[in-house]
């Protein structure tokens, strides 16, 4: 898959993800706005219903208990006055006969029969009834501390709506009840504000007066029996962030966010998998090309040697013939080693691969491996030194795989040395394990390559060096051998400084 296509695919997905996020945010804001509007409507409906209830109540139903008693007494006094006026109207011939009945200052102040007035029994009863009501009314008025000259109207707005007379807890309770009925389950702060003097004549517990004064929820106060006052308002304030989305909206928002995150994670995983697969395909292609080259070279050499042996002038010379036979043998051995390496790597990829451990002499195996490379080192004018210390313990390992492991490590150290190879191999015992350390002064391995150097088919970049042959399976084979022996392998390297491979194999 081409890189441009991956970039295009990633860009399209990123734009789609951003679009989904924008749509989700817009939808959330829209839902919040709708919830805000519904919240305001619910509060308004609740307050309207509260005022409707107050309009259906009598004044004595929504004032304090003390004021309620006073108003009831005043209503009884008014009723008594009306009855007294009815008696006067129904008996006007009697009450307005100046020769028989006399009044005080007014008709509701006093009424009595004049001396020597002749009244019938019915008229005397009427006058007695009037005076009885008059005395009863005066007793009620004296009980209220009200005189004839001080008869204020208790139903006046200034007498009812103040902190000492109005039943504000009732108003508070009605508002909270109606808010719940209208779906507002947020506990509000409630106040009654008189704006002309900027005074809260009522404020619920724990409320902030400034919040109430500045609240947008402000309603003109009105109730049955009370003259509307344009400066009197019922005000409400709510705790911070009163607009809360419904549980369904919250659930859908959370699910949408989780889905976007999940899809993004799957997309990233897919892209990484595609890139890894693409890289693996490139490594396999490189492996096949290298393998083809490695096989064709000895085959071409063998073919050329065979052609030369067919020439009678060559075969007549015993030394020349022996030289060509040795070439064929060497190239044949080289192909066997190549095929064996591929087969061993393939076997190790299977889960059922096993080793045949036995007691081995690690230093002897290392020494044999070193001997096999001495000629190659000399031809490149390099050096290979060793520091083989006694191993204090018994090492059980597969001799063939340990030998192949050493062969691969030494071969890599030679191949990746631009200058004449300078290789040092040491062995020692450390914390119950046999430790092998192989150090070269080659081109080194970058930090990025070090993360993948033990992966199959992975080949370290050689920069300007183009003569390094291999399949990318040598170090992978080494790491698998170490793992099968329950050991550890580590790498320290700097570009241009060389590399050091350290292998630790547990001892019995």
Annotated domain spans of the chain: 65-143, 156-237, 285-347, 355-506
pTM higher than 0.85: no
* Phi, psi angle pair for 430, to nearest 5°: -150, 115
From the list 475, 316, 490, 496, the residue with the least C-alpha distance to 406 is 475
Residues β-bridged to residue 506: 433
pLDDT 10s digit of each residue in the chain, 508 long? Answer: 566 777 777 788 778 878 777 877 777 777 777 778 888 899 999 998 988 888 777 666 666 666 667 777 777 888 888 888 888 888 888 888 878 888 776 555 677 788 878 888 888 888 888 888 888 888 877 766 544 434 444 444 344 455 456 778 888 888 999 999 988 888 899 998 888 888 888 888 888 889 898 888 999 887 766 666 678 889 999 887 544 445 555 666 677 778 778 887 887 888 788 777 777 777 677 667 666 766 776 787 788 878 877 777 766 777 777 787 878 887 787 677 677 767 766 666 655 567 788 999 999 999 988 887 887 788 888 999 999 999 888 999 988 889 888 888 888 888 888 888 999 999 999 988 999 999 998 888 888 888 878 877 676 665 544 455 555 677 888 888 898 899 999 999 988 889 999 999 999 8
DSSP letter, residue 388: E
Question: Domain 355-506 is of which CATH architecture?
Answer: 2-Layer Sandwich (3.30)
**What is the rounded CA–CA span in Å between residue 203 and residue 208?**
9
Classify the C-alpha dihedral 261-263-266-272 as positive or negative.
negative
Q: Helices 399-415 and 318-349 meet at what angle, rounded to 10?
A: 110
**Would you give the distance in Å from CA 365 to the centre of its chain?**
58
Closest CA to 392 of 332, 434, 353: 434
CB 418 within 8 A of CB 498: no
Q: Which two tokens stand for residue 53?
A: 């209830």
CATH code of the region 285-347: 1.10.287.130
Gap between the Cα atoms of 251 and 247, Å rounded: 6
């Amino acid at each position: 898959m081409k890189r441009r296509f991956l970039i295009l695919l990633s860009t399209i997905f990123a734009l789609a993800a951003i679009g989904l996020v924008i749509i989700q945010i817009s939808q959330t804001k829209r839902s919040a706005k709708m919830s805000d509007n519904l919240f305001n409507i619910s509060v308004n409906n609740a307050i309207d219903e509260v005022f409707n209830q107050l309009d259906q109540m009598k004044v004595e139903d929504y004032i304090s208990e003390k004021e309620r008693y006073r108003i009831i007494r005043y209503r009884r006094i008014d009723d008594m006055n009306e009855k007294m006026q009815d008696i006067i109207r129904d008996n006007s011939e009697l009450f307005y006969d100046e020769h028989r009945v006399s009044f005080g200052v007014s008709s509701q102040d006093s009424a009595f029969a004049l001396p020597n007035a002749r009244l019938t029994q019915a008229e005397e009863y009427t006058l007695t009834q009037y005076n009885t009501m008059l005395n009863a009314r005066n007793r009620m008025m004296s009980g209220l501390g009200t005189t004839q000259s001080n008869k204020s109207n208790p139903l006046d707005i200034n007498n009812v709506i103040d902190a000492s007379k109005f039943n504000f807890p009732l108003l508070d309770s009605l508002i909270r009840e109606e808010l719940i009925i209208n779906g507002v389950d947020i506990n509000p702060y409630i106040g009654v504000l008189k704006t002309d003097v900027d005074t809260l004549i009522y404020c619920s517990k724990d409320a902030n007066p400034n919040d109430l004064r500045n609240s947008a929820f402000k309603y003109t106060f009105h109730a049955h029996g009370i003259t509307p006052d344009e400066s009197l308002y019922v005000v409400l304030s709510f705790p911070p962030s009163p607009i809360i989305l419904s549980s369904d909206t919250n659930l859908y928002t959370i699910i949408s966010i989780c889905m976007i995150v999940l899809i993004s994670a799957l997309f990233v995983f897919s892209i990484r998998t595609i890139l890894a697969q693409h890289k693996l395909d490139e490594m396999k292609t490189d492996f096949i090309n290298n393998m083809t080259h490695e096989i064709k070279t000895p085959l071409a050499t063998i073919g050329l040697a065979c052609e030369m042996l067919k020439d009678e002038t060559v075969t007549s010379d015993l030394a020349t013939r022996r030289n060509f036979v040795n070439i064929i043998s060497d190239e044949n051995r080289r192909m066997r080693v190549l095929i064996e390496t591929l087969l061993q790597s393939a076997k190790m990829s299977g889960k059922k691969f096993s080793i045949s451990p036995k007691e081995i002499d690690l230093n002897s195996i290392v020494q044999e491996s070193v001997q096999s490379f001495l000629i190659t080192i000399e031809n490149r004018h390099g050096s290979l030194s060793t520091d083989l210390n006694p191993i204090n313990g018994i090492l059980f390992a597969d001799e063939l795989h340990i030998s192949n492991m050493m062969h691969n490590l030494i071969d890599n150290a030679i191949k990746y040395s631009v200058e004449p190879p300078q290789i040092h191999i040491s062995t020692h015992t450390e914390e119950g394990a046999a430790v092998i350390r192989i150090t070269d002064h080659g081109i080194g391995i970058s930090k990025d390559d070090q993360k993948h150097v033990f992966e199959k088919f992975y080949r370290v970049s050689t920069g300007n060096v183009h003569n390094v042959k291999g399949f990318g399976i040598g170090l992978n084979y080494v790491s698998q051998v170490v793992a099968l022996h329950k050991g550890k392998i580590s790498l320290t390297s700097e570009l241009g400084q060389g590399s050091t491979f350290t292998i630790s194999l547990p001892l019995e």
